[in-house]
Amino acid sequence: MNPSSPKVAAYTARCPYAVGPHEPLGNARRLMEKYAIRDLPVRAEGKLVGLLSERELRLVWSLLHPPPETLTVEDAMTLEPYAVPSETPLDEVVREMADRTLDAAVVLDGGRVVGVFTATDAMRALADALESTLTSPSGRLGDAARPRRGARGRAAR
Check which CATH number belongs to the domain holding 70 and give it. 3.10.580.10
How far, in Å, CA of 42 to CA of 20, rounded?
5
Q: What pLDDT score was predicted for residue 134?
A: 62
Residue 154 lies inside a defined structural domain of this protein: no
Residue 105 lies inside a defined structural domain of this protein: yes
Q: What pLDDT score was predicted for residue 63?
A: 80
How far, in Å, CA of 21 to CA of 44, rounded?
7
Residue 157 lies inside a defined structural domain of this protein: no
Residue 155 lies inside a defined structural domain of this protein: no
Tell me which residue range forms the domain holding 15: 8-145
In tens, the pLDDT along 32-65 reads 999 999 999 999 998 999 999 999 998 887 887 7
The two counts, helices (H) then strands (E), for the chain are: 4, 7
Within 6-157, strands assigned E span 13-14, 39-44, 47-53, 78-79, 83-85, 104-109, 112-118
Q: Which residues of the chain fall short of a pLDDT of 50? A: 136, 138-157
Residue 23 lies inside a defined structural domain of this protein: yes
Cβ neighbors of 114 (< 8 A, separation 6 or more) are 9, 12, 14, 15, 86, 107, 108
Q: What pLDDT score was predicted for residue 13?
A: 84
Q: What pLDDT score was predicted for residue 132?
A: 83
Q: What pLDDT score was predicted for residue 135?
A: 61
Within the chain, strands assigned E span 13-14, 39-44, 47-53, 78-79, 83-85, 104-109, 112-118
Q: What pLDDT score was predicted for residue 54?
A: 93
Q: What pLDDT score was predicted for residue 38?
A: 94
The total of structural domains in the chain comes to 1
